[in-house]
Amino acid sequence: CSRINSRYARNILKRSLYDLIQSMQVQLSFDCPFHPERDLFRKQEELKDNAYQSSWTCSYCGKWFYRERFLDQHLDNRHSALLGTVMNATCLANYCDILGCDLAHVQDTTLAKGNDLWWKTALCRSTQMVELRDQCLQIAEQCTPKSSKASSGVRNIIISNICSRLTCKNYWNRSNVALVMKEAYILALRILSSIIIFLALL
C-alpha cells in the first residue's frame, strides 16, 4: 500500500468529504472504505509533528527528521505495529483512480508533469470513467449511515464532490490543473513552432 498515494487520497477526502460531514455532525457508516478509522496509516500519520517545512518529529519516540519521507521510513521500520489493525483496514491508495490522486501532484508539479496530464486528458476513455463512476456510486451507498436523518446528505456529498467528477470533461476541470495544462500546452506549441521554423530554414 503506497503511503504517499494514501496521503494524497486522505487530503482529497478531507477537503471533499470529512470536513463537510463534520459540519453536519454525522458519521460515515463503518462499512465505508473512506471511514477515517479504517485508514491503514491513520495512527502513524497522527504521530507526525510538523513544526515547519524542514522539521518533522515522531511524537511517539521523539526522533527528529528534516524530511517527511525519512519520517515515513522511520515509521515503517520502527513503528509498524501501529499500522491499522481494525478489521477491513483500508488502503486509501487503492481508491486513487476514483479520487483523482494524480491531480494532487499539480500543486508542486513541473511543466513535464503538466504535459503528462495534458496527454492523459487527450487519451481519456469514457468507458473507463463510466466504470469508475459506477464504483463510486456503490461506495456512496456503502458510506451512507443507515439510521440518520442526514443519510441522504452524506450520499449527495459523495456523489456531488467525488462521483460527478468522473467524466473525461470534469475529471481534469480544476483551476490549478487547468493552469498547469495550459502552460504545458503553450510550451508544446512553442517547441513545435521552433521545429517548424528550423525545418523551414534547412
User: What is the rounded distance in angstroms from the CA atom of residue 169 to the CA atom of residue 88?
Assistant: 34
Please indicate whether residue 170 or residue 30 has the higher confidence score (pLDDT): 30
Residues contacting residue 139 through CB under 8 Å, at least 6 positions apart: 32, 33, 34, 95, 98, 158
The arithmetic mean of pLDDT across residues 71-88, rounded, is 81
The arithmetic mean of pLDDT across residues 96-123, rounded, is 65
**Is 184 in contact with 114 (CB distance < 8 Å)?**
yes
| pLDDT score at 9 | 93
35-78 pLDDT per residue, tens: 999 999 988 888 888 877 788 888 888 888 888 888 888 888 88
Q: Cα-Cα-Cα-Cα dihedral of 32, 131, 119, 160, to 10°? A: -50
pTM: 0.74
Residues contacting residue 10 through CB under 8 Å, at least 6 positions apart: 39, 41, 45, 92
3-state class of 1 per DSSP?
Answer: coil
Q: Give the chain's mean pLDDT.
A: 79
C-alpha cell, 11: 487530503
Q: Cα-Cα-Cα-Cα dihedral of 196, 199, 201, 202, to 10°? A: 180
Per-domain residue ranges of the chain = 3-41+84-201
- The length of the chain, given as a count of residues: 202
| pLDDT score at 150 | 67
120-175 pLDDT per residue, tens: 666 678 899 999 999 999 999 999 888 766 677 888 899 999 999 898 888 766 54
The arithmetic mean of pLDDT across residues 103-126, rounded, is 61
Q: Cα-Cα-Cα-Cα dihedral of 73, 79, 84, 86, to 10°? A: 160
The arithmetic mean of pLDDT across residues 88-103, rounded, is 89
pLDDT at 185 over 60: no
Percent of all residues in the chain with a pLDDT value above 70, rounded to a whole number: 73
C-alpha cell, 110: 513541473
Work out the pLDDT band at 14, boundaries 50, 70, 90.
Answer: very high
| pLDDT score at 134 | 96
